[in-house]
Amino acid sequence: MTAIIPNVIAMKGEFIQATWETIYMTLMSAIVSAVLGLLVGVLLVVTQPGGILEDKLTYSVVDKLVNLLRSIPFIILLAVISPLTKFLIGTTVGTTASLVPLIFGIFPFYARQIQNALLDVDHGVIEAAESMGSSPLEIIFRIYLREGLADILRVSIVTVISLIGLTTMAGAIGSGGLGDVAINIGYARFENDITFTAMIIILVLVFAVQLFGDWVVRRVEHQ
């Protein structure tokens, strides 16, 4: 082992820590983004033309905001958002500080995915619920989020995988995690075994998320 990946063995402790940092960043930003993304996604679906709470102004403002945030390249967002990060966290470096750009980088993407997932819910079923006297809130919770659950889970998996990708980019501003190790140690010091091992661990994380996600989707789907 020492012969194949000498540098990795030498910094085993750092690798374990970096892996936990990546998991921490992914999980924490996923949780916050899930809440924000669901809220915004549902808001888009219900306020859009023909929606159950149609509201042209709200829809067009939120829609444009989501597009705007989605258009900023993440590497630039990391830098641009730093004053806000400083204000919220107190610092702009470190794992926790990276949560702010990660959340702003991923939740608009997730909101859009949620919107698309919910648009796939059969409009006839929504109409049926309205005809049965369901309130907008009941329609959101008992129809949209429930009928759309399998698709919501599917887009959540895609989002978490994208998010793992973003956490590695956050390494550029010293967030810690596997991306940080791969670039700032492996790449900078020409220690290729470190870069390669970081990649392998990330791939394992991605596959684990994908497999777990697929298993959950299979369990909730009844079509």
Partner 1 sequence: MSETVTNAIELNNISVNFQNHDQEIDAVKNVDLQIKRGDIYGIIGYSGAGKSTLVRVINLLQQPTQGSVIVNNQEILKLKPVELRQARKKVSMIFQHFNLMKSRTVQGNVEYPLLGTKISKADRQAKAEKLLRLVGLSEYAGTYPSQLSGGQKQRVAIARALASDPEILISDEATSALDPKTTKSILELLKQLNRDLDLTIVLITHEMQVIKSICHNVAVMDAGEIIERGPVAKVFTEPQQKLTTDFVETSTNVKEAIERITSTIKISEFKDNQELMYFNFIGNSTKQGVVSEFSQKYGIDVNILFANIDQIDGENVGYMIAVITGDLAVFNAAIQRLSSEGVKTRILTNDVLEGGAA
Interface contacts to partner 1, rule CB under 8 A: 122, 124-125, 127-135, 138, 142-143, 146-147, 149-150, 220, 222-223
Q: Can you tell me the distance from the alpha carbon of 8 to that of 196, in angstroms, rounded to the nearest whole number?
A: 10
- Pick 83 or 124: Cβ nearer partner 1: 124
- Closest contact distance (angstroms) between CB of 32 and partner 1 is 27
- Pick 19 or 48: Cβ nearer partner 1: 48
- Closest contact distance (angstroms) between CB of 60 and partner 1 is 18
- Pick 116 or 134: Cβ nearer partner 1: 134
- Pick 52 or 173: Cβ nearer partner 1: 52
* Chain centroid, CA 14 distance in Å: 25
Query: In 21-51, which positions are buried (b, 16+ CB within 10 angstroms) versus exposed (e)?
Result: bbebbbebbbebbbebbbebbbbbbbbbeeb
- Closest contact distance (angstroms) between CB of 151 and partner 1 is 11
- Closest contact distance (angstroms) between CB of 222 and partner 1 is 4
- Pick 9 or 145: Cβ nearer partner 1: 145
Question: Residues 218, 155, 157, 178: what is their CA dihedral angle, to the nearest 10 degrees?
Answer: 170
Q: Are 40 and 62 in contact (CB under 8 A)?
A: yes
- Closest contact distance (angstroms) between CB of 101 and partner 1 is 36
Crossing angle for the helix pair 56-71 and 99-119, to the nearest 10 degrees: 130
Q: Are 142 and 129 in contact (CB under 8 A)?
A: yes
